[in-house]
């Protein structure tokens, strides 16, 4: 299988580019998650188990 990758005749550019894009995407997502507000994470984590309460912007 590795020989097929070596014999792409210029195709290694696409392999390296796709690997770099994959890595950059997950690094950006990781940085975003580390900088995310912890209180926001708690609120979002409780949303599925909270009882239905009207939002402040909804009419009664």
Predicted confidence (pLDDT) per residue in 8-56, tens digit: 666 778 888 889 999 999 999 999 999 999 998 888 888 877 666 666 6
DSSP conformation letters of the chain: -HHHHHTSSSTHHHHHHHHHHHHHHHHHHHHHHHHS-HHHHHHHHHGGGS-----TTS--
8 Å CB contact between 60 and 54 = yes
**What was the pLDDT predicted at 58?**
55
Give burial (CB, 10 Å; 0-12/13-18/19+) of 34: exposed
Domain boundaries, the chain: 8-45
Would the pTM of this model clear 0.85, i.e. be above it? no
**What was the pLDDT predicted at 48?**
75
What is the distance, to the nearest Å, from the Cα of residue 56 to the centroid of all Cα atoms in its chain? 30
């Amino acid at each position: 299988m590795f020989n097929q990758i070596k014999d792409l005749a210029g195709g290694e550019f696409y392999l390296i580019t796709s690997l770099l894009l994959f890595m950059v995407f997950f690094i950006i997502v990781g940085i975003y998650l580390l900088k995310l507000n912890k209180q926001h994470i708690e609120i979002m984590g409780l949303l599925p188990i909270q009882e239905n309460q009207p939002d402040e912007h909804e009419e009664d």
